[in-house]
Structure 1
Amino acid sequence: LENIKSNNIKIGLASASKNATMVLNNLKLVNYFDFIADASKCKNSKPAPDIFLMALKGLNVEAKNCIGIEDAYSGIEAINTSGMYSVGVGDKKTLKNANLVVEDTTYLEFDTLMDIFNK
């Protein structure tokens, strides 16, 4: 998160959890996020793209310029439908529709992701 912020890239959260802000506050991570989509204001849940579209709008960015990271099949489907580049974290079979799948978050290195995304 620090590396992303130091590169002047906006960070949004599109969680289905209604207590996402509280969790981020407790983890002392909330200040890294430029926008937190409010799941309670979404008409449809994942795999519908509503929560990701809300985040895009809140960040004032275009989907084609964004990377979405998810650990669930329905989240990958929602990211793909929103038009973002999808990165799955976890099982390659479950997340097979993602543009990129990594085993765990230790593989989410900023420079590596940017290189892959820009290709």
Structure 2
Amino acid sequence: MANVTQNRPLSPHLQIYKPIPTMVMSILHRITGGALYFGTLLVAWWLIAAATGQAYFEWVNWILGTILGRLVLFGYTWALLHHMLGGFRHFMWDLGHGFGKEFSTKLAKANLVGSLCLTVIVWAIGLAIRF
């Protein structure tokens, strides 16, 4: 019986791969997709509190208004916007555009910068309306 694995190349692993922007954005797209499940539970909790009664709603608003609560909501906002922009990027690829190495790298970087800028804009508008 011949050894069939002798002529096969070894699989590369994380010590060999150099992280590139498209790889990092792919990983972040998956992570933000998972984070959206948790954030959506927070939104559902807030809506259920609004339907339950004023005292419970005020308590949930107080929790979400703490520093930790705002950090979580800020992260949820970023995850939502980052995942949305990544979805647009994937949709463009589904249409057969943007496969060039330089363009896809620029698009990956733009995805990160765009999601951060949009998050800051959304929060700035939200805070401006609140006060």
The answer to whether TM tops 0.5 is no
TM-score under structure 2 normalisation? 0.24
Greater helix share, 1 or 2? 2
Greater Rg by CA: 2
Q: Which has the higher contact order (CA 8 A, sep 6+)?
A: 2
TM-score under structure 1 normalisation? 0.26
